[in-house]
């Protein structure tokens, strides 16, 4: 939340209406609140960590399709972790963003080994390859139970942690997800909570209820609208309008509403965009394909669809390593994105495949523009080598009334023909 000084903060509002009763009740509140505050804080930390673990698993299940699995592909004793067909070793951007936004550390284990984590030591080295404690292994992996630990040592830091087992479709446990917060941060939060103020307000209401009634009603209405608004964002309704009442007062509710909107946009970006290439991902592309099918049928809008593939991309990875492969994917994505400006959009279809959609284009005109894009791709060379990057394209026009599978199959067949005929070309029909 922003640290901007609020001209009419909730703290000031409550202070005005509770100053005298608060002074009378302070002694009583302090004697009862200190003993219960730590328990409340620990319970809240547990609830938040459980929620954060569920959110992390939901985001990963949304972005990456399939089950978690790992193998020693190179025979060097180092496991590479996958989710479905997508390798996720080293894919820390999504994990880091989630950890940063939720202010926690997140780890994905294969069995009891950390293969994806935000945990770092003092030198910034990630805790990849380290093992969970024996207690956690016994409680979570062997007993198959989710477990919260109020005081556990994680990477030499006393922490609160929650672990949930990861199960495949057959119910077998293949690993676990762990989320943690340092004990120090929980203690700091304990001294920030304003629980005693809430108790004072309830007791004081017996004496000054008629004074607080108007303010409570007004505040309750805004909190209710805030709850409905945040609930809409949580359900993926990112375009929902913010209720005007939430911004009438310059207070914490206004800030929370704005922060909720910003966080929804951030999550929408994580869900709809490919982290590496910054193009739309397949999930978003599938949604858009259905939209253009309906648009072509109802309005007669002309669309051309192209499935493209980087030629000999596996050879790039095998010869120059996967970092160079990522470099090539980013450069190609930049060319495709630039080439599709004001024409439609580009998406990463999977691996080295990309989907291009031309809106309001005849097939022959789309082909001419695609030739320009293909020429731009040919300007990409692998650094310090004579290896040029080329692509093959399968282009087709959407026929109103046909389903998505039909025209995608036709575009894919055109791509296959382009690759079979020597690659580095466009097949259009």
- Relative to beta strand 391-397, strand 426-428 is parallel
Polymer length in residues for the chain: 429
Distance CA 382, CA 319 (A): 11
Residues contacting 293, CB < 8 A, separation 6+: 398, 402, 403, 404
Q: Cα separation of 370 and 363, whole Å?
A: 10
C-beta separation of 395 from 306 below 8 A? yes
CA proximity to 253, closest of 296, 213, 222: 222
Q: What is the DSSP string of 123-190?
A: TS-B-TT-B--HHHIIIIIIT---EEEEEEEETTEEEEEEEEEEE-TTS-EEEEEEEEEEHHHHHHHH
Q: How far is CA 413 from CA 316, 421, 427, in A?
A: 24, 12, 9
DSSP characters for 204-245?
A: HHHHHHHHHHHHHHHHHHHHHHHHHHHHHHHTT-TTPPPPGG
Give the integer Cα–Cα distance in Å for 247 and 46. Answer: 32
The C-alpha angle 109, 166, 103, rounded to 5 degrees, equals 60
Q: In what order do the strands lie in the sheet with 303-310?
A: 344-350, 353-359, 303-310, 391-397, 426-428
Active site (annotated) includes residue 290: no
Query: In whole angstroms, what separates CA 349 from the centre of its chain?
Result: 18
The Cα 158–Cα 392 span in angstroms is 54
Task: Please enumerate in sequence order all residues whose Cβ is within 8 A of that of 254, keeping only pairs 6 or more positions apart, or say none.
Answer: 246, 247, 248
Over the Cα atoms of the chain, what is R_g? 27
- The secondary structure of residue 79, as a DSSP letter, is -
- Cα dihedral 294, 295, 299, 303, rounded to 10, equals -120
Q: How far apart are CA 361 and CA 370, in angstroms?
A: 11
Exactly one of 352, 371, 376, 402 is catalytic; name it: 352
Q: Which residues are catalytic?
A: 352
């Amino acid at each position: 939340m922003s640290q901007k000084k609020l001209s009419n903060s909730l703290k000031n509002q409550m202070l005005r209406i509770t100053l005298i009763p608060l002074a009378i009740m302070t002694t009583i509140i302090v004697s009862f609140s200190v003993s219960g505050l730590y328990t409340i804080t620990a319970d809240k930390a547990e609830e938040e960590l459980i929620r954060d673990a569920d959110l992390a698993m939901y985001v990963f299940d949304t972005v990456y399709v399939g089950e978690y699995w790992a193998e020693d592909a190179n025979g060097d004793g180092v496991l590479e972790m996958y989710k479905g067909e997508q390798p996720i070793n080293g894919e820390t951007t999504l994990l880091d963003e989630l950890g940063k936004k939720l202010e926690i550390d997140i780890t994905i284990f294969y069995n009891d080994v950390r293969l994806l984590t935000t945990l770092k030591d003092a030198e910034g080295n990630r805790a990849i390859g380290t093992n969970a404690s024996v207690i956690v292994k016994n409680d979570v992996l062997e007993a198959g139970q989710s477990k919260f630990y109020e005081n556990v040592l994680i990477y030499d830091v006393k922490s609160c942690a929650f672990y949930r087992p990861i199960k495949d479709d057959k119910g077998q446990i293949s690993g676990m997800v762990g989320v943690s917060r340092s004990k120090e941060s929980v203690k700091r939060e304990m001294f920030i909570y304003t629980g005693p103020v809430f108790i004072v307000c309830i007791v004081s209401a017996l004496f000054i209820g008629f004074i607080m009634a108007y303010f409570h009603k007004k505040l309750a209405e805004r909190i209710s609208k805030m709850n409905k608004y945040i609930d809409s964002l949580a359900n993926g309704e990112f375009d929902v309008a913010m209720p005007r009442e939430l911004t009438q007062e310059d207070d914490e509710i206004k800030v929370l509403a704005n922060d909720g909107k910003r966080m929804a946009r951030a999550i929408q970006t994580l869900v709809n965009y490919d982290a590496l290439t910054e193009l739309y991902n397949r999930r978003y592309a599938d949604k858009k394909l259905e939209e253009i099918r309906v648009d072509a049928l109802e309005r007669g809008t002309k669309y051309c669809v192209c499935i493209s593939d980087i030629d000999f991309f596996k050879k790039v990875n095998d010869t120059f390593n996967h970092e160079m492969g990522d470099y090539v994917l980013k450069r190609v994505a930049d060319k495709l994105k630039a080439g599709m400006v004001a024409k439609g959009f580009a998406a990463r279809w999977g691996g080295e495949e990309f989907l291009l959609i031309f809106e309001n284009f005849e097939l022959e005109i789309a082909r001419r523009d695609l030739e320009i894009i293909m020429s731009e791709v040919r300007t990409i060379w692998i650094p310090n080598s004579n290896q040029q990057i080329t692509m093959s394209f399968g282009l087709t026009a959407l026929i109103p009334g046909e389903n998505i599978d039909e025209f995608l199959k036709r575009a894919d067949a055109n791509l296959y023909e382009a690759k079979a005929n020597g690659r580095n070309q466009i097949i259009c029909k």
